[in-house]
Amino acid sequence: MRNLNLSIINSYSYFLRYITLCLLFASAQGFSQNNPTIVSGVDTTYIKIGEQINFKVTVETDSTAQVIFPEGQTFSPLETVEALKTDTVKKMDRMTLQKIYALTQFDSGSYTLPRQQIMVNGKPFFTDSIKIDVATVPVDTLAQKMYDIKPIINVEKSNGALWRILLWVLGILILAGAALYWFVFRKKPLSEEEKVALLPPFDRAILGLKQLEKSKYLIQDDYKSYYSELTDIVRSYLEEDVHVTALESTTDQLIDKLEMMKDAGQLKLDHETIQQFKKVLQTSDLVKFAKSKPESSAAELDRKSVEQIVIKTKEAIPEPTEEELLQREEYLEELERKKQKKKIVIVAVTAVFVLLISTVAAIGYYGFGQVKDTVLGHPTKELLEGEWVQSDYGFPPISLQTPKVLLRQAVKLPPEAQASIKEMQAFAYRSSVGLFTIGATSITLAQPEEPDFEKASEQILKNFENQGARNITTKQEAFSTLTGVKGVKLYGSAKFAVPESKELISGNYMVLFFGGKGFQQNVILTWLEDDHYADQIVDRILNSVEVKTSL
C-alpha cells in the first residue's frame, strides 16, 4: 500500500513537472513572438575619404507596434548624407521595417559608428557599434611622375550685371533717339494751314480771296465777317510784300502811305487803283462800324476789286536789287542757323535729361557710393571687378584666388632665425593707393616639429608695430578651408602708416596660419576700414584658400 502511494506521488510530481515545462515553453514561445527582433549592419567597413556607407537597420515586431528610428546627426563622428524612407512589409500579425542611412566622413582615420537607439512601443533597443576605417586616396609616385606647378589661370568673371546695365542704357538711348527723330528731325506731314502759311504772300492772298468767294458769309448776311476777312487779306499782303505797316493803320493812314510810296517811286501803282482800294476800305469801315449793309452783288464786286488790286500791286512792286536779294539770302541763312541751333539745343537738353534719368535710376538701384565709385573710379573696386587669377605660391604650396598676381619677395633671414627656419618663400601684392595688401609665405622648418602659431602671431604683431602701426586690437579663432583643412585666424584693427600719408589711417588686418610637422604657411591681408569693396575681396580670397597638410 505504501509502495502504491509512493508510486502515485511520484507520478503526480512527474506530471506537475511536465505541466510546468509545458507552461514555461508556452510562455517562452509567447514572449519570443511579442519581443521585437533588431538587426543592423553596414555594406562595408572600409571606405575612402568622401565615399559613402549604407547603414541598414531591420526591425521585426508585432504589426501593431510603434517603431521610431533615429533622426538627425546621431551617427557622429560620421556624417549623415541621407536617410531613406522606411520600407515596411507585413505578414499576418507581424511586420518587418527596414531603414537605410547613407553616411560618410571627410577625414582619414578609424571611427566607431555608435550604438543607435530604436524605440518600440516606447521601449528603447540598441544596435551594435561598428568600427569604420576611412583611408586617404593613395598616390603612387613611382608609377606616376610628378608635374610642375600649374601656371596662373585667369578666373572667369561673370558679366551678367554689366550686361544688364548696358541693356538699360542702350534701351534709354534708343528711346531718346526715337523721340528726337520723331519730334525734331522727322519731316512731318504739313497740315493745310501750314501748307498755306508756307506759300508766298501773293499766292496766299489770292488763295484767301478764292476761299472767301466760296464762303457762306453773304448767304448768311454776315457782311461784317466778310469785309473783315477781305480787308485782312489785302492788308496782310501789303505788309508782307510791300513792307508797309497796313494791319495797324487806319484807312486814311494806309492810303497816304501808298501815295507816298507811289510818289517816291517805290510802288508803281496808278492813282485809280489806289482810289478804288480806298473805296473798298471805306465800305468795309461802314459795314464794321456803322453796321451798313451793302448789296450782295456790291460785296462780291468789292472782292473782285481787291483781287485786281493785289494783282496790280504785285506787278507794281519793283524788282529787288542785288543788295536786297543778298540781304534776303543772309536773312534766310540766319533763319537756317537759328533752326539748326534750336535742334542742337534740343539734342543737348535731351542728352542731359537722359543722363540725369540714368544717373537717378542707377543711384536708386546701386546706391550713390557705387555710382560715384564707378564714374570717378575706386582702386579696390577696380581690383574686385577686374580679372582674378588662381595660382599656387611657395612650397608647400598655398593656393589662392587674387585680383592681381603675387610677386616673389626677396627674403633675408636674420641669424637668429636661420637655426629654426630652413627656407622661407614670400609673395606679396600691394595696391599703389591706400592700404590694401596681400601676402603669402611658406616656411620650411629646420626640424620636423609642429609650428608655434602663438609665437608667429606675436612676431607678426611686432612687425606691425615696427612699421608704425598703433592701437592694434587682436582676436583669434579657428579657421577651416572649404575642403576642411584646419588652421588659425588672427584678425583685428589698427592705425596703420602708409607711404602716401603722413597720418595714421584706420584699417583692418587678417592673418591665416596653417602648417604641420616641419612647415608653416601664412596668408596676410590688410585693408582700409569701411571699404566694402575690400571686404568683398577678402571674403573671396578666404573662400579660395587651399593648403597642403603635409610636406
State whether residue 68 is helix, strand or coil: strand
Task: Give 179-236 pLDDT, tens digit per residue.
Answer: 777 776 676 666 777 777 778 888 999 999 999 989 989 888 899 999 999 999 999 9
> Please, is 276 exposed, middle or buried when counting C-beta atoms within 10 Å of its C-beta (0-12, 13-18, 19+)?
middle
Answer yes or no: is pLDDT of 58 > 90: yes
Pick the more confident residue, 317 or 285.
285
Nearest to 511 by CA among 525, 499, 494: 525
Average pLDDT rounded to a whole number, residues 61-79: 85
pLDDT band at residue 59 using 50, 70 and 90 as cut-offs: very high
CA distance 363 to 463: 42
Nearest to 105 by CA among 53, 157, 59: 53
pLDDT the model gives residue 49: 87
pLDDT the model gives residue 20: 36
pLDDT the model gives residue 351: 76
* Cell numbers describing residue 42: 553596414
Q: Is the CB of residue 302 less than 8 Å from the CB of residue 197?
A: no
* Cell numbers describing residue 332: 534766310
Answer yes or no: is pLDDT of 2 > 60: no
> Please, is 10 exposed, middle or buried when counting C-beta atoms within 10 Å of its C-beta (0-12, 13-18, 19+)?
exposed
pLDDT the model gives residue 21: 35
Task: Give 287-343 pLDDT, tens digit per residue.
Answer: 988 888 888 888 899 999 999 999 988 888 877 667 766 776 777 787 788 878 887
Lowest mean pLDDT among 252-256, 369-373, 405-409: 369-373
Contacts of 460-468 with C-beta under 8 Å, sequence gap 24+, read 460/490, 460/511, 460/522, 460/524, 464/494, 464/496, 464/509, 467/496, 467/497, 468/496, 468/497, 468/504
* Cell numbers describing residue 265: 517811286
CB within 8 Å of 397: residues ≥ 6 apart: 149, 442, 547, 548
Query: Phi and psi at residue 409, in whole multiples of 5°?
Result: -110, 140
CA distance 145 to 131: 35
Answer yes or no: is pLDDT of 409 > 70: yes
* Cell numbers describing residue 528: 582700409
Exposure class string for 333-367: b at 16+ Cβ within 10 A, else e? eeeeeeeeeeeeeeeeebeeebeeebeeebeeeee
Task: Give 148-168 pLDDT, tens digit per residue.
Answer: 565 666 655 555 555 677 777
Three-class HEC string of 152-200: CEEECCCCHHHHHHHHHHHHHHHHHHHHHHHHHHCCCCCCHHHHHHCCC
CB within 8 Å of 439: residues ≥ 6 apart: 406, 426, 427, 428, 429, 522, 523, 524, 525
Task: Give 347-363 pLDDT, tens digit per residue.
Answer: 777 777 777 777 777 66
pLDDT the model gives residue 308: 92
Task: Give 427-463 pLDDT, tens digit per residue.
Answer: 998 886 667 899 998 888 888 888 888 888 888 888 8
Nearest to 126 by CA among 59, 63, 29: 59
pLDDT the model gives residue 500: 66
